Amino acid sequence: MSTSRAPVNEEEFLSALYKGGELLAAGKIVEARSHLETASQLAPKNEKAQNLLGLTYFKLGLFDQASDIYERLVRENPADPTLRVNLGLVYLKTNNLPRCIKEFETATDLEPDHKKAHNYLGLALAQAGDYAKAREHFVLSGSEQMAEKMARALTTRVESSPSSHGMVVPPPPAATAQAVTAQPAQLVTPKPSGPPLSLIHI
């Protein structure tokens, strides 16, 4: 008796992937989930399906599931900087600053001109209170407004430091709150044919 797996129904897979991608792009996240889970079950190794499902879980607030997917994708594609950015954003959303900073730093090492990676790294560093490094990465990302906010935060810190009453450190600038409400960049809806989709920003 044969124990080999039945071949994947490619037509069913592409239909579920395409429909899930369309619904996700339209903001119908709950509806997209079932289609993308079906696509993922039909082709567990398909990076496009996994990436879209990870994005869906992220937008639904299912961060454990999202991190599982992106951790696996990063293990399988360690040189892909944007997958690391996506994983870093999951960690940032759950306030795991050390791990998100590590992923963003690796992304910028892999692709020094990755402006989104520099921007998110700046946000994470600002939340961690490292305004000087955060400013450097905001400059590299082209975000002059945030770079200026970091410069002002540094000035405030210097003016507030050591006095007879001890060290006074200002809280992170309010603008860093955008890190945990970061919206996806333009979502690319997968099509039944074409190159694999590996880069989707959360």
The percent of residues in the chain predicted with pLDDT above 90, rounded, is 70
Q: Is the CATH number of domain 9-61 2.40.320?
A: no
> Which stretch of 3-12, 97-106, 165-174, 182-191 has the lowest confidence by average pLDDT?
182-191
> For residues 8 and 184, which has the higher predicted lDDT (pLDDT)?
8
Reading the block at residue 58, the tokens are 């992220």
Q: What is the rounded CA–CA span in Å between residue 201 and residue 183?
A: 8
Q: pLDDT at position 192, please?
A: 39
> Which stretch of 8-12, 18-22, 186-190, 197-201 has the lowest confidence by average pLDDT?
186-190
Q: pLDDT at position 57, please?
A: 97
pLDDT digits 0-9 by tens, 139-183: 999 999 999 999 999 888 776 665 534 444 444 454 444 444 454
State the burial class of residue 91 (Cβ atoms within 10 Å of its Cβ: 0-12, 13-18, 19+): buried
Q: In CATH, what number does 78-179 get?
A: 1.25.40.10
Q: Which of 8-12, 44-48, 172-176 has the highest mean pLDDT?
A: 44-48
Residues of the chain with CATH 1.25.40.10: 78-179
Q: pLDDT at position 162, please?
A: 55
SS3 readout for 28-79 = CHHHHHHHHHHHHHHCCCCHHHHHHHHHHHHHHCCHHHHHHHHHHHHHHCCC
Q: What is the rounded CA–CA span in Å between residue 155 and residue 157?
A: 5
> Does residue 168 sit in helix, strand or coil?
coil
Q: pLDDT at position 160, please?
A: 66
Q: pLDDT at position 175, please?
A: 47
Q: pLDDT at position 28, please?
A: 96
The whole model's pTM is what?
0.76
